[in-house]
Amino acid sequence: MRLFGRMYDATLRAAQHRHAQWYLAVNSVAEATFFPIPPDVMLIPMTLAQPDKWWRLAALTTVTSVFGGFLGYLIGYYLLDVALPIIDDWGYRGAYDTAVGWFEHYGFWAILAAGFTPIPFKVFTISAGAAQMQLLPFVVGAVIGRGGRFFLVAAAMRWFGPRFEPQLKRYVDVLGWATLGAIVIGVGIWKA
């Protein structure tokens, strides 16, 4: 079944759409507050489709993700009572509690590291607001962490993507199903 292959091809076509950068920006803001799909899913094919714009795409993703992170911070700071039931419903309570502990102990370093972790960024942004982390270290850490991640991803796609893409296209379905299986197993273990 070529489900992920068809999705990959569709994503590459969409990456060349004249509004693709707007979609990337909206996804980046949304992912840092409530949306489950990381911006890398759009950044990678967009960089493959337009390798000469890698730095611009990385910068756009960074700026909009940090802005979304600021919105997540505000949610945690002002609307925690509303956000906690949603965090519980989505099954992120354990990650949220861990993130709050990190902010209480490590502050700036926690948000910096959050930019690179596979844990959804929204967990960290809302937790930082809930822990009432100082805003300037939060923003600086988010810029460095998210920027480091997105510039690294975009640069790798710019320089290595054309050589890597044939193998990615060949094995995208295997990788997609393996990732989906790992997520299902991980959620099952986490909930057990």
pLDDT tens by residue, 20-56: 899 899 989 998 888 777 888 889 888 988 899 999 9
The pLDDT of residue 50 is 87
The two tokens of residue 134 are 């100082």
Q: pLDDT tens, 136-187?
A: 999 999 999 999 999 998 999 898 877 777 766 676 677 667 766 776 776 6
**Residue 99 and residue 127 in contact, taking contact as beta carbons nearer than 8 Å:** yes
Give me the residue label for tokens 């990385």. 58
121 and 97 in contact (C-beta within 8 Å)? no
Give the mean model confidence (pLDDT) for residues 111-131: 83
pTM attached to this predicted model: 0.76
Cβ atoms 157, 54 nearer than 8 A: yes
Q: Is 100 helix (H, G, I), strand (E, B) or coil?
A: helix
